[in-house]
Chains A and B, each alone.
Chain A
């Protein structure tokens, strides 16, 4: 999460944080060796090896991501929440492959580690009049209200594609580094702050469906389970089995 301080609209002096949250980092690299996928599948956990596709897919818990390994040594990692986590996952997978292939004595480097894509979202505290933005910048933007809800701004410098919505949500895709992401958001802010509008006019949350009332303690435990980086040991309890079916809650 990159905290980013800035002043809110209407010249008020109160500062509000606009956090850019990075949702997905996609990276790939290649190892300078042939990987025996079958051996890897038999010796590692939480993976599936599809012989027809000749790809091994693995799901890592910590940091949470999906990994695809090819027998040429190429590895693709999808789903990390930050560049550093992505790098860490890459190294841990590399280490695992090294151990399983028995090359522990040799030095194995990650060749051509490259971050392909970073997806990040940010919410501006004001609404945006995207049809006017489209009129002002027809070359860089694309807005078709019948086709997409948001306006798409293709930036060349830094290379990214930004989706801007009327509610003020900004989605940056295609960036190659976190610095690029924040640069892109800053640039967009510069263009878009002239087209602000009152967010209460736009945001009409749909009436929420009433969910059945569950015991608060249990629901808290269930939510905790999915937070990575906290306590890894807790997910092996049988707690999840009880709460798969909300109707079957007994009085524990």
Chain B
């Protein structure tokens, strides 16, 4: 199909007028093409309107995760509907494929969980894709849907480079940490991928943000954690505990002091663990802090536990 050009100005870039449905040449004003089909939405429906009918004739956009080319209709029954429509919905539910139903359910669970911890759309889609993969491979059969969905979400977060701790995922899901861990292990085995280990730096911005700490404190804590790992002071400690202890040290030295209990709650580490790891950092405290750090409490007066 030859592209439209103005007969008098073949090089002119044509402008589209949506209101009239015309394509106009900006140089001379000639209408080059008309009766353009508007491919935008026909009707817009708002959630606060309670009109009886929804005049929109198209449904939701195509979801690539749920399978392309699936143009079937699903029956939705509202609360208190008539018996016949409920019968219709039941009949359809009986006929649906188990995997389809599981996938839909899991997608709902993943969206639910992600909304609560404000995860972005790409992570949700990645988690849904992973879920579809493990569903096809049937490796996690027998595990509850919620556990699988939570493990997929954890895996997606890790893969995208923004890991969430198991405890954070536990908080928005009703599965135990143990079950999520087991499912996660199975996912790794099924997909045969290996992912990056978690580091303390991944969690710094989130933890410090939740504690309302200033950026300088966050930067100091990041550096403390990094230096501590380099100097090998905290070998054998989980990166979460190291991060928590670094934040404790940085916050105690600055104007915004946080107690070990608060930090432990945000990070998901026990208060005693934070204190113990902090004690490991204390001997070399001078080397850990960045050079330009402004000490509100000087190093000598930092708490000893």
Contact = CB atoms under 8 A, between A and B. Distances in A.
Interface of A: 127, 129-131, 134-135, 138-139, 142-147, 165-167, 197-198, 201-202, 204
Chain B interface mostly: helix
B282 interface: no
B181 A147 contact: yes
Nearest to A134: B197
A57 to B, nearest CB: 29
Contacts of B240: 145-146
A167 B236 contact: yes
B165 A146 contact: yes
A204 B281 CA distance: 13
A163 B165 CA distance: 23
A138 B194 contact: yes
Interface string B233-252: 10110111000000000000
B188 A142 contact: yes
Interface of B: 165-167, 177, 181, 184-185, 188, 194, 197-198, 232-233, 235-236, 238-240, 276, 280
Nearest to B199: A131
Contacts of B166: 146-147
Contacts of A139: 194
Query: Top 4 closest A-B pairs, CB basis?
Result: A166-B236, A138-B194, A145-B238, A147-B181
Contacts of A129: 232, 235
Contacts of B184: 144
Chain A interface mostly: loop
B86 to A, nearest CB: 44
B197 A135 contact: yes
B165 A197 contact: no
Nearest to B180: A147
Most buried by A among B166, B188, B233, B235: B235
Contact of A202 (B165, B177, B236, B276): B236
A130 B238 CA distance: 11
A166 B236 CA distance: 6
A138 to B, nearest CB: 4
A54 B232 CA distance: 55
Contacts of B236: 127, 130, 165-167, 202
Contact of B235 (A138, A146, A147, A201): A201
Contacts of B188: 142
Given A135-B197, A144-B185, 10 more contacts: A129-B235, A130-B236, A142-B188, A146-B165, A146-B198, A146-B238, A147-B166, A147-B181, A201-B232, A204-B280
A138 B194 CA distance: 6
Contacts of A130: 236
Contacts of A127: 235-236
Contacts of B165: 146
A197 B197 contact: no
Most buried by B among A130, A138, A144, A165: A144
Nearest to B195: A138
Contact of A197 (B167, B177, B232, B276): B232
A65 B16 CA distance: 87
Contacts of A138: 194
A59 B276 CA distance: 43
A146 B180 CA distance: 12
B181 A144 contact: yes
Contacts of B181: 144, 146-147
Nearest to A167: B236
14 contacts: A131-B197, A142-B188, A144-B181, A146-B165, A146-B167, A146-B198, A146-B238, A147-B181, A166-B235, A166-B236, A197-B232, A197-B235, A201-B232, A204-B276
Contacts of A201: 232-233, 235
B235 to A, nearest CB: 5
Most buried by A among B165, B197, B233, B238: B197
A123 B181 CA distance: 28
Nearest to B189: A142
Most buried by B among A138, A145, A165, A197: A145
Nearest to A130: B236
Given A197-B232, A201-B232, A201-B233, A143 B238 contact: no
A198 B235 CA distance: 10
